Amino acid sequence: MAATAPQPAANNPLALRRPEQPDTLVKVSDSVVFGAGDVVLMGGPCAVESLAQILETARAVQAGGGKMLRGGAWKPRTSPYAFQGLKEEGLELLAAARRETGLPVVTEVLDPRDVETVSAVADMLQIGSRSIQNFPLLKEVGRSGKPVLLKRGMMTTVEEWLSSAEYILCEGNDQVVLCERGIRTFETSLRNTLDVGAVAVLKERTHLPVVVDPSHAAGDSR
Amino acid sequence: MAATAPQPAANNPLALRRPEQPDTLVKVSDSVVFGAGDVVLMGGPCAVESLAQILETARAVQAGGGKMLRGGAWKPRTSPYAFQGLKEEGLELLAAARRETGLPVVTEVLDPRDVETVSAVADMLQIGSRSIQNFPLLKEVGRSGKPVLLKRGMMTTVEEWLSSAEYILCEGNDQVVLCERGIRTFETSLRNTLDVGAVAVLKERTHLPVVVDPSHAAGDSR
Amino acid sequence: MAATAPQPAANNPLALRRPEQPDTLVKVSDSVVFGAGDVVLMGGPCAVESLAQILETARAVQAGGGKMLRGGAWKPRTSPYAFQGLKEEGLELLAAARRETGLPVVTEVLDPRDVETVSAVADMLQIGSRSIQNFPLLKEVGRSGKPVLLKRGMMTTVEEWLSSAEYILCEGNDQVVLCERGIRTFETSLRNTLDVGAVAVLKERTHLPVVVDPSHAAGDSR
Amino acid sequence: MAATAPQPAANNPLALRRPEQPDTLVKVSDSVVFGAGDVVLMGGPCAVESLAQILETARAVQAGGGKMLRGGAWKPRTSPYAFQGLKEEGLELLAAARRETGLPVVTEVLDPRDVETVSAVADMLQIGSRSIQNFPLLKEVGRSGKPVLLKRGMMTTVEEWLSSAEYILCEGNDQVVLCERGIRTFETSLRNTLDVGAVAVLKERTHLPVVVDPSHAAGDSR
């Protein structure tokens, strides 16, 4: 096949910080604002499994100082035979946990056809690491106007990550939070290598808020 | 966030080679069959740009011994400001080149909502490296029944790659060709590192045909 | 060539923490002890260049709260044409800075033939990242009985790193401090990727003190 | 510690191919010449273990068309408790196998203090992957005037590799063969990832011969 010409260095005018541009605030609710200086603690299960499970977890998150509940209703699984999530039912359980605790919820959307459904319930849409260059999906979440938690892919450079954010921003949605969650390297003593240096690089290059999800990077690959 | 439990080693009963299972043949046309022993040479431009361009290229591919034409109508671009492809018009140009030369065409589909449209024209659907874990898309191309060219992601292990193939196979579509195209490593003297060893590993582990796209791995990153 | 049989998982009885084994203290001087709970701040130039330079730097390190001076007398350089260090003269300048400030000095030794010379002056021997599997050198610094600062290689797994420490320990020298300094990954926005997760893994697996050198991992690769 | 200034892009005037410079021939014996167009097949055990073993192997190498015998007398082992080689006795066994078969021998030297001893017996000195940036050793093998087989490190870029060759060349020894043996990447289905692209890059950039050692890259990491 013919060689694809290398793409020029990405130019991301909306994602990059202009001189003296202040930090962007991403407002999920009156009490949950990213970029305002306070760390926003989020917690919750990998997958929503039952009402009892999500209620118990939500209360534990709240008791531990968490301001936001996360939980997966659609799960991107390496294997087609793994549990793929409760889908619409999972959304309803998240909504129930929100009613019970008042915590806003963030949940992953995988498919551009589901953005409307998920947006109707979730307070924030999560783009998972495997979707970091799923451009049709990025455009749809951009159009949704919802706050977006954009997780870095396992193989994504900082520059590519900002270009993926640009896909959302250029749809008119500037409510994007970048989430460092570890990259794939040769080291296997942990599941992923948390790239703390990238957080510092991002704080300089972009006005968007940055959060860290240590769960994969602290996980044991045994 | 709570740690995601490590997923168990993927079990891919349909993708893995059973004892004495012969190679699967993937038949795109009477004259283009993958897995039958002959190398199937494919060529074409990164993106379809005009009728003149695709006709000229298709004739050159044919003159050079190529049996199949590839060209992008939908292009996954790192930057939202890069050319995103001619889309439906690109499909029509590919069809015109096929009428002119008789070469079957393979082209990438990015969005599960486009699978039906692309399937109506293309002889084979390409899943690009950025879509290797786009599971809704994999399911749709599985359901399409079309032959699929499944490119490895830049940071996909062989095991994950076979699990992505399994997503297609378990929809009842066994017409999957695996395409090694180079992985992302620390080395930057070329755009990607072609993993020839993976080809040997795949020939042992799976019954599916394997092809190599050297274009990225031979590209100059300067 | 015949395949080298994969080596069995390294067994490092001296480096691994036995049940309830306390942290090992590495004592460089009465006031500089690693592993006792306080962070030991070290600073200094990449290479020792002149008396004025090393004295000025040493005073700045001390004024900034540093407890130890580092500086290279022998420099491992990628290119043979780059400055290779002042060697013996550099050692004398480090000794002069120590007399002036009272700060103990750590400096790199590259060659097993230089261990005796460097040990006669330095308070602690540094094994640089390129020497992490220079086994003749590890044995010599083990025999020297001197405290050792063992920097991780750019592509060394935690397990290999502990095996390199074991080379020193099994010569009867348990005064080894492990120094995380960043690993080589696909990401190039910084010179190296600081692996903070490895620090946590090490604290669990070994009784040896761990320090972090952020200088490479914070460096700009532009 | 203070940040090390990034080193300028290596300039390797002796290793890089000047315009129209022909390939360098590395002559190990009258019948073993690298760079002359023929593939020089080498074989032998990982470690020399006994006279019977090395004689039997040498005859098998010769019967299989091999022109050169390799075998380790000094072995760089990740663990200090693994077999470290027969050392001087191993050299004598290699010499015995050479007398028996006429095959020239290549063997690894690990320590600059052993270069003279190994050079007295071996026809070619091997620098192993762990020693690729052991600069004192590179200088010594440069001074020895012996042909050198310079294996790439697991983490070495092409540019760094050529700089390591430059260390040998600038001692007046241009008899250097570069040996690609696989790099360390995220992929673990094989022990290392053979970088065939690097061979093509090297053929363009340097006049030195290039060989490939597939043994590690074909090894099973299970």
CATH, residue C198? 3.20.20.70
Tell me if C2 and D135 make a contact (CB, 8 A cut-off).
no
**Residue that is last in its domain, among C78, C108, C138:** C108
CA angle A198, A202, A207 (to 5 degrees): 165
Q: Which residues of B touch A6 (CB under 8 A)?
A: 191, 219-221
Q: Which long-range contacts (CB under 8 A, 24 or more apart) does C88-93 make?
A: C88/C117, C90/C47, C90/C48, C91/C117, C91/C118, C91/C121, C91/C122, C92/C121, C93/C48, C93/C50, C93/C51, C93/C54
Same-domain pairing of C78 and C127: no
pLDDT at position B5 over 60 = no
Same-domain pairing of B121 and B181: yes
Q: Which residues of chain D have pLDDT under 70?
A: 1-10, 219-222
**Residue that is last in its domain, among C85, C108, C131:** C108
**For residue range A48-96, what is the model confidence (pLDDT) as tens digits?**
999 999 999 999 999 999 999 999 999 999 999 999 999 999 999 999 9
* Mean pLDDT for all residues in chain A: 93
Q: Which residue in B has a C-alpha nearest to residue C185's C-alpha?
A: B186
pLDDT at position A212 over 90 = yes
> Is residue D12 situated within a structural domain?
no
Amino acid D219: pLDDT: 66
Q: Are B85 and B107 in contact (CB under 8 A)?
A: no
When scoring C195, C212, C215 by the number of chain A Cβ atoms within 10 A, the one with the most, hence best to mutate, is: C195
**Single-letter residue type at A118:** V
> Is residue A150 situated within a structural domain?
yes
Name residues whose C-beta falls within 8 Å of residue C198's C-beta, 6 or more positions apart in sequence. A187, A189, A190, C152, C158, C180
**For residue range C72-102, what is the model confidence (pLDDT) as tens digits?**
999 999 999 999 999 999 999 999 999 999 9
> Is residue A7 situated within a structural domain?
no
What number is the average pLDDT over the span B23-44? 96
How far is it, in rounded angstroms, from Cα B191 to Cα A135? Answer: 22
Tell me if A79 and B4 make a contact (CB, 8 A cut-off).
no
**Residue that is last in its domain, among C108, C138, C162:** C108
Backbone dihedral angles phi then psi of residue D9, each to the nearest 5 degrees: -50, 130
Tell me if D195 and B218 make a contact (CB, 8 A cut-off).
no
pLDDT at position A208 over 60 = yes
> Is residue B8 situated within a structural domain?
no
Q: Minimal CA–CA distance to B67: which of A109, D74, A1, D149?
A: A1
Contacting B with CB below 8 Å, chain D residues are 155, 157-159, 182-183, 185-190, 193-198, 200-201, 217-218
Same-domain pairing of B146 and B207: yes
pLDDT at position C133 over 70 = yes
Tell me if B1 and A213 make a contact (CB, 8 A cut-off).
yes
Tell me if B113 and A113 make a contact (CB, 8 A cut-off).
yes
Q: Are C79 and D170 in contact (CB under 8 A)?
A: no
> Is residue D65 situated within a structural domain?
yes
What is chain C's percent helix, strand, coil content, to nearest 5?
30, 15, 50
Contacting A with CB below 8 Å, chain C residues are 155, 157-159, 182-183, 185-190, 193-198, 200-201, 217-218
Same-domain pairing of C47 and C89: yes
Same-domain pairing of B59 and B97: yes
Tell me if C201 and A188 make a contact (CB, 8 A cut-off).
no
pLDDT at position B217 over 80 = no
**For residue range B78-120, what is the model confidence (pLDDT) as tens digits?**
999 999 999 999 999 999 999 999 999 999 999 999 999 999 9
Same-domain pairing of C82 and C185: no
Report the percentage of chain B scoring pLDDT > 90: 88
Same-domain pairing of B212 and B150: yes
**For residue range B175-202, what is the model confidence (pLDDT) as tens digits?**
999 999 999 999 988 889 999 999 999 9
What number is the average pLDDT over the span C162-180? 98
Looking at the complex, report in whole angstroms how far the Cα of residue D28 sits from the nearest Cα belonging to chain C.
17
> Is residue C31 situated within a structural domain?
no
Q: Which residue in C has a C-alpha nearest to residue B183's C-alpha?
A: C186
**For residue range C6-16, what is the model confidence (pLDDT) as tens digits?**
344 448 999 99
Strands (E), A42-164: 42-43, 68-70, 105-108, 124-127, 148-151
Q: Which residue in B has a C-alpha nearest to residue C193's C-alpha?
A: B186
Amino acid A56: pLDDT: 98
Q: Which residue in C has a C-alpha nearest to residue D213's C-alpha?
A: C1
Tell me if D194 and B198 make a contact (CB, 8 A cut-off).
no
* Mean pLDDT for all residues in chain C: 93
Amino acid B220: pLDDT: 58
Name residues whose C-beta falls within 8 Å of residue D24's C-beta, 6 or more positions apart in sequence. D35, D174, D207, D208, D209
pLDDT at position B3 over 50 = no
**For residue range D90-124, what is the model confidence (pLDDT) as tens digits?**
999 999 999 999 999 999 999 999 999 999 999 99
Looking at the complex, report in whole angstroms how far the Cα of residue B8 sits from the nearest Cα belonging to chain D.
16
Same-domain pairing of B117 and B170: yes
Same-domain pairing of B104 and B125: no
Lowest mean pLDDT, pick from B40-54, B157-171, C198-212, D181-195: D181-195
Looking at the complex, report in whole angstroms how far the Cα of residue C116 sits from the nearest Cα belonging to chain A.
34
Place of tokens 């193989």: A155
Q: Which residue in A has a C-alpha nearest to residue C219's C-alpha?
A: A197
Could you tell me the residue range of the domain that residue C77 belongs to?
Answer: 38-108
Amino acid C191: pLDDT: 87
Structural domain count of chain C: 2
How far is it, in rounded angstroms, from Cα B96 to Cα B53? Answer: 12
pLDDT-derived band at C222, boundaries 50, 70, 90: very low
> Is residue A204 situated within a structural domain?
yes
Contacting C with CB below 8 Å, chain A residues are 155, 157-159, 182-183, 185-190, 193-198, 200-201, 217-218
* Mean pLDDT for all residues in chain B: 93
How far is it, in rounded angstroms, from Cα D213 to Cα D195? Answer: 11
Nearest Cβ partner for D197 among B155, B201, B218: B218
pLDDT at position A5 over 50 = no
> Is residue A19 situated within a structural domain?
no
Q: Which residue in B has a C-alpha nearest to residue A127's C-alpha?
A: B134
Better-predicted residue by pLDDT, C1 or A33: A33
Amino acid D7: pLDDT: 40
Q: Which residues of D touch B197 (CB under 8 A)?
A: 182, 189-190, 193-194, 217-218
ipTM of the modeled complex:
0.92
Same-domain pairing of B124 and B103: no
How far is it, in rounded angstroms, from Cα D61 to Cα B185? Answer: 34
Tell me if B193 and D200 make a contact (CB, 8 A cut-off).
no
